[in-house]
Structure 1
Amino acid sequence: MAAAPGRRRPAVLLWAAVCLATALAVDRSNFKTCEQSGFCRRQRGLQPGHSPYRALLESLQLGPDAARLQLVNEVTKVPLLLELWGLQGNVTRIRIKELNPLRPRFEVPDVLVAEPPVERLAVTGRDEGSLELSLGPAGHRLLVTEKPFRMDLLQGRELLCSVNARGLLFFEHLRQRRDSDTPREPTAEEGGAAEGQEETTGGTEDAGTQSEKPTEATAEAAEEPGSWEETFKTHTDTKPNGPTSVGLDFSLPGFEHVYGIPEHADSLRLRTTEGGDPYRLYNLDVFQYELYNPMALYGSVPLLLAHSARRTLGIFWLNAAETWVDISSNTAGKTLFGKLLDYMQGGGETPQTDVRWMSESGIVDVFLLLGPTPAAVAGQYAALTGTQALPPLFALGYHQSRWNYNDEEDVAAVERGFEEHAVPCDVLWLDIEHADGKRYFTWDPSKFPRPRDMLQRLAAKKRKMVSIVDPHIKVDSGYRVHNELRSRGFYVKTKDGSDYEGWCWPGSAAYPDFTNPEMRAWWASMFAYDQYEGSTENLFTWNDMNEPSVFSGPEVTMHKDAVHHGGWEHRDLHNLYGLYVQMATAEGQIQRSGGQHRPFVLSRAFFAGSQRYGAVWTGDNAAEWEHLKISIPMCLSFGLAGLSFCGSDVGGFFKNPEAELLVRWYQAGAFQPFFRAHAHLDTARREPWLFGEENVALIRAAIRQRYALLPFWYTAFYRSHRHGLPVMRPLWMEYPEDATTFAIDDQYMIDRALLVHPVTEQGARGVQVYLPGKGEVWYDVASLQKHHAPQTLYVPVTMSSVPVFQRGGTVVPRQERVRRSTECMRGDPFTLYVALSPQGTAEGDLFLDDGQSFDYETKARYLHRQFTFAGNTLTASSADPRGSFDTPAWLERVVILGAGKPAAVVLRPADGSETRLDFQHEAETSVLTLRKPGVRIGDDWAIVLR
Structure 2
Amino acid sequence: MRKETLRLIFLLLISTHLHSVLSWKKEEFRNCDQTPFCKRARSRAPGSSTLTATDVSISDGDLTAKLTHKDDPHSKPLILTLSVHQDGILRLIIDEDHSLSPPKKRFQVPDVVVSQFPATKLHLSRLTPDPLSSSVYLSDSHSAVLRHDPFELFIRHDPSGHRVLSLNSHALFDFELLREKSEDDDWEERFRSHTDRRPYGPQSISFDVSFYSADFVYGIPERASSLALKPTRGPNVDHSEPYRLFNLDVFEYLHDSPFGLYGSIPFMLSHGSTRGSSGFFWLNAAEMQIDVLAPGWDADSSIALPSHRIDTFWMAEAGVVDAFFFIGPSPKDVLRQYTAVTGTPSMPQLFSIAYHQCRWNYRDEEDVDHVDSMFDELDIPYDVLWLDIEHTDGKKYFTWDRTLFPHPEDMQSKLADKGRHMVTIVDPHIKRDDNFHLHKEASQKGYYVKDSSGNDFDGWCWPGSSSYPDTLNPEIRSWWVDKFSYSNYVGSTPSLYIWNDMNEPSVFNGPEVTMPRDALHYGGVEHRELHNAYGYYFHMATANGLLKRGEGKDRPFVLSRALFAGSQRYGAIWTGDNTADWDHLRVSIPMVLTLGLTGMSFSGADVGGFFGNPEPELLVRWYQLGAYYPFFRAHAHHDTKRREPWLFGERNTELIKEAIHVRYALLPYFYTLFREANSTGVPVVRPLWMEFPSDEATFSNDEAFMVGSSLLVQGIYTERAKHASVYLPGEQSWYDLRTGAVYKGGVTHKLEVTEESIPVFQRAGTIIARKDRFRRSSTQMANDPYTLVIALNSSQSAEGELYIDDGSSFNFLQGAYIHRRFIFSNGKLTSINLAPASGSNERYPSDAFIERIILLGHAPGSKNALIEPSNQKVDIEHGPLWVLRARAPAVMTIRKPSVRVAEDWTITVT
Q: TM-score range by the shorter chain?
A: over 0.9
Letter of the 1:576 counterpart = A
Contact 1:94 1:366 in 2 (8 A): yes
Matched residue, 1:170: 174
CA shift for structure 1 position 63: 3.1
Matched residue, 1:821: 777
CA shift for structure 1 position 328: 0.4
CA shift for structure 1 position 541: 0.4
Matched residue, 2:446: 489
1:268 to 217, 223, 227: 227
Q: Distance in 2 between matches of 1:875 and 1:881?
A: 18
Letter of the 1:320 counterpart = A
Matched residue, 2:691: 734
CA shift for structure 1 position 18: 5.5
The answer to which of 421-430 and 62-71 deviates more is: 62-71
Letter of the 2:805 counterpart = D
Contact 2:865 2:876 in 1 (8 A): no
Contact 1:331 1:352 in 2 (8 A): no
Pair 1:70-2:66 in alignment: yes
CA shift for structure 1 position 615: 0.3
Pair 1:374-2:377 in alignment: no
Pair 1:656-2:613 in alignment: yes
**Residues 391 and 300 of structure 1, relative CA distance in 2, 3 Å threshold:** same
CA shift for structure 1 position 118: 2.0
Letter of the 2:759 counterpart = P
1:919 to 860, 877, 898: 877
Q: Distance in 1 between matches of 2:324 and 2:21?
A: 42
Q: Distance in 2 between matches of 1:98 and 1:401?
A: 49
Q: Distance in 1 between matches of 2:739 and 2:287?
A: 50
1:809 to 753, 765, 776: 765
Number of equivalences: 874
**Residues 664 and 333 of structure 1, relative CA distance in 2, 3 Å threshold:** farther
Q: Distance in 1 between matches of 2:534 and 2:355?
A: 28
Q: How does 1:210-249 map to 2 (within 5 A)?
A: 228-249=187-208
Matched residue, 2:633: 676
Contact 2:607 2:622 in 1 (8 A): yes
Letter of the 1:271 counterpart = K
Deviations 1:371-420 (A, max 9, x none): 00001001001100111111100001111111011111111111111111
Letter of the 2:878 counterpart = Q
CA shift for structure 1 position 64: 4.9
Letter of the 1:119 counterpart = L
Q: Distance in 2 between matches of 1:723 and 1:303?
A: 17
Pair 1:306-2:270 in alignment: yes
Matched residue, 1:146: 148
1:888 to 833, 840, 847: 847
Q: Distance in 1 between matches of 2:21 and 2:567?
A: 32
Letter of the 1:362 counterpart = G
**Residues 666 and 853 of structure 1, relative CA distance in 2, 3 Å threshold:** same
Q: How does 1:650-799 map to 2 (within 5 A)?
A: 650-773=607-730, 775-799=731-755
Contact 2:539 2:570 in 1 (8 A): yes
CA shift for structure 1 position 253: 2.7
Letter of the 2:245 counterpart = L
Pair 1:878-2:829 in alignment: no
Q: Distance in 2 between matches of 1:821 and 1:863?
A: 22
Matched residue, 2:302: none
Q: Distance in 1 between matches of 2:19 and 2:466?
A: 22
Matched residue, 2:531: 574
Q: How does 1:412-427 map to 2 (within 5 A)?
A: 412-427=369-384
Deviations 1:576-598 (A, max 9, x none): 11111111111111111111001
Give secondary structure in 2 for the equivalent of 1:691.
coil
Pair 1:330-2:288 in alignment: no
Matched residue, 1:507: 464
Matched residue, 1:386: 343
- Aligned-CA RMSD value: 2.0
Matched residue, 2:482: 525
Q: How does 1:401-412 map to 2 (within 5 A)?
A: 401-412=358-369
Contact 2:829 2:908 in 1 (8 A): yes
**Residues 795 and 368 of structure 1, relative CA distance in 2, 3 Å threshold:** same
Q: Distance in 1 between matches of 2:419 and 2:688?
A: 36
Contact 1:875 1:940 in 2 (8 A): yes
Quote the sequence identity (%): 47
CA shift for structure 1 position 14: 5.0
The answer to which of 149-158 and 588-597 deviates more is: 149-158
The answer to which of 674-683 and 239-248 deviates more is: 239-248
CA shift for structure 1 position 812: 0.4
Matched residue, 1:320: 285
Contact 1:330 1:351 in 2 (8 A): no
CA shift for structure 1 position 555: 0.5
2:32 to 28, 31, 34: 34
Contact 1:786 1:925 in 2 (8 A): no
CA shift for structure 1 position 333: 14
Give secondary structure in 2 for the equivalent of 1:935.
strand
Q: Distance in 1 between matches of 2:608 and 2:15?
A: 22
Q: Distance in 2 between matches of 1:635 and 1:332?
A: 30
Matched residue, 2:236: none
Contact 1:120 1:136 in 2 (8 A): no
Letter of the 1:84 counterpart = L
CA shift for structure 1 position 134: 2.4
Give secondary structure in 1 for the equivalent of 2:207.
strand
Contact 1:120 1:135 in 2 (8 A): no
Letter of the 2:605 counterpart = S
Deviations 1:235-294 (A, max 9, x none): 101111111111111122322300000000000000111151111101010121112111
Contact 2:21 2:513 in 1 (8 A): no
Q: Distance in 1 between matches of 2:383 and 2:12?
A: 35
Q: Distance in 1 between matches of 2:344 and 2:124?
A: 28
CA shift for structure 1 position 17: 5.3
**Residues 10 and 791 of structure 1, relative CA distance in 2, 3 Å threshold:** farther
CA shift for structure 1 position 524: 0.9
Give secondary structure in 1 for the equivalent of 2:33.
coil
Q: Distance in 1 between matches of 2:812 and 2:145?
A: 46
Q: Distance in 2 between matches of 1:764 and 1:811?
A: 31
Matched residue, 1:641: 598
Q: Distance in 1 between matches of 2:801 and 2:279?
A: 29
Letter of the 1:118 counterpart = K
Q: How does 1:444-463 map to 2 (within 5 A)?
A: 444-463=401-420
Letter of the 1:74 counterpart = K
Q: Distance in 1 between matches of 2:20 and 2:250?
A: 15
Q: Distance in 1 between matches of 2:15 and 2:891?
A: 58
Give secondary structure in 1 for the equivalent of 2:821.
strand
Q: Distance in 2 between matches of 1:735 and 1:159?
A: 23
Q: Distance in 1 between matches of 2:138 and 2:579?
A: 50
CA shift for structure 1 position 766: 1.3
Contact 1:561 1:570 in 2 (8 A): yes
Give secondary structure in 1 for the equivalent of 2:165.
strand
Give secondary structure in 2 for the equivalent of 1:616.
strand
Letter of the 1:307 counterpart = H
Letter of the 1:80 counterpart = L
The answer to which of 859-868 and 531-540 deviates more is: 859-868
Contact 2:732 2:744 in 1 (8 A): yes
Q: Distance in 2 between matches of 1:904 and 1:568?
A: 73
**Residues 480 and 713 of structure 1, relative CA distance in 2, 3 Å threshold:** same
1:83 to 77, 81, 84: 81
Deviations 1:793-851 (A, max 9, x none): 11211111221100111110000001110011011011000111211111111111111
Q: Distance in 1 between matches of 2:639 and 2:319?
A: 42
CA shift for structure 1 position 927: 3.8
Matched residue, 2:216: 257
CA shift for structure 1 position 305: 0.6
State the 4+ residue runs in structure 1 displaced beyond 4 angstroms. 8-23, 331-334, 921-926
Give secondary structure in 1 for the equivalent of 2:706.
strand
TM-score (norm 2): 0.93
2:555 to 591, 595, 598: 598
**Residues 725 and 92 of structure 1, relative CA distance in 2, 3 Å threshold:** same
Give secondary structure in 2 for the equivalent of 1:650.
coil
**Residues 870 and 554 of structure 1, relative CA distance in 2, 3 Å threshold:** same
Contact 2:539 2:567 in 1 (8 A): yes
